[in-house]
Amino acid sequence: MFGSSIIVFRETLEAALIVGILTAATRGVSGRNRWLIAGITAGLAGSAIVAAATNTIAEMASGFGQELFSAGVLGIAVLMLAWHNIWMAAHSKELAIHARNTGRAISDGKRECSVLFAIIALAVLREGSETVLFLYGIATAGSQSTHTVLVGGLLGLTGGVAVGWTLYAGLLRIPLRWFFSVTSLLVLLLAAGMASQVARLLIQANLLPSLAAPLWDTSSLLPPDSVLGTLLHGLAGYDARPAGMQIIFFAVVLVSIVIGMKLISQPQQPSK
């Protein structure tokens, strides 16, 4: 039972961290909750479809379909997160006012909501499909009773959601003055971390050279399977022994988004 709860917890955690940050980051955007729930639902439905198609995906691209699929999902998520942060840079003042007195709709909020929907759906899809596969494997093997596995899975799910919720609640306590700077920074790290994971997957499939592997080794300082290591992996794609190519991906995405945010917020400065 604990076996299944730990695995489901691990898979839920990463998605929950992303959902927690994005929910906080879209504070003040009207209709957010509806899109959030729709995103989670679509992600879960997608998980079942991806899990059912595992064999087909695995056989594609001469055995590296899985890597390409995951890299594609992450790549789209990176673009969406980038869009989100740049949009935020243009609207955060408006949103801060909106968070104080609700009832004023944000112009352009609809598109932001669909981006939120897509990011949440992709995050849930990526982590969810593995969970579905795992639970399916146990259910068909019949070595443990399905009941035990389900209870364990639910425990893990609850734990993961609790961490995501704690992060969300903690973020909301940040004073509004700094609030959107903090969430923007977190989204920036999420996007860069995902980009580094894209590189890792493409190296795993031998589609990219690793370039100096590993660039450094912090596995004894901060083990990747420790609590902090796991959290950092979820938040910023932490790897204890990253390949040079991963760092390049991380840096390029980080710098590109920062430049995008700077460019979009500049024209508004004269009107201050």
Partner 1 sequence: MKKLLFITLFLLTSTAFAADAEFTIVIREHRFEPAELIVPAGKKIKLLIENQDSTPEEFESYDLAREKVIPGNSAASLYIGPLKAGRYPFFGEFNESTAKGAVIAQ
Residues that bind partner 1 (CB under 8 A): 3, 6-7, 54-55, 58-59, 63, 66-67, 130, 133-134, 136-138, 140-141, 200, 203-206, 210, 213-214, 217, 219, 223-225, 239-242
Measured from the CB of residue 127, what is the shortest distance to partner 1 in angstroms?
12
Peptide bond into 214 cis (omega under 30): yes
Measured from the CB of residue 141, what is the shortest distance to partner 1 in angstroms?
5
Task: Please say whether the beta carbons of 117 and 38 come within 8 A.
Answer: yes
Measured from the CB of residue 139, what is the shortest distance to partner 1 in angstroms?
10
* CA-wise closest residue to 254 among 197, 176, 193: 193
Measured from the CB of residue 26, what is the shortest distance to partner 1 in angstroms?
30
* CA-wise closest residue to 120 among 252, 14, 216, 225: 14
CA dist., res. 8 & res. 156, Å (int): 5
Task: Please say whether the beta carbons of 199 and 245 come within 8 A.
Answer: yes
Phi/psi for 4 (5° steps) reads -70, -35
Closer to partner 1 by Cβ: residue 10 or 32: 10
- The structure tokens 């995008």 sit at 260
Closer to partner 1 by Cβ: residue 176 or 215: 215
Measured from the CB of residue 228, what is the shortest distance to partner 1 in angstroms?
13
Measured from the CB of residue 58, what is the shortest distance to partner 1 in angstroms?
5
Closer to partner 1 by Cβ: residue 137 or 170: 137
Closer to partner 1 by Cβ: residue 73 or 88: 73
Token pair in block for residue 34: 């509806």
Residue type, 246: Q
Closer to partner 1 by Cβ: residue 5 or 26: 5
Closer to partner 1 by Cβ: residue 19 or 138: 138
CA dist., res. 104 & res. 30, Å (int): 8
Closer to partner 1 by Cβ: residue 63 or 170: 63
Measured from the CB of residue 3, what is the shortest distance to partner 1 in angstroms?
6
* CA-wise closest residue to 38 among 91, 147, 116, 148: 116
Give the length of the chain: 272
Please, what sign has the CA dihedral across residues 13, 9, 167, 243?
A: negative
CA dist., res. 150 & res. 139, Å (int): 9
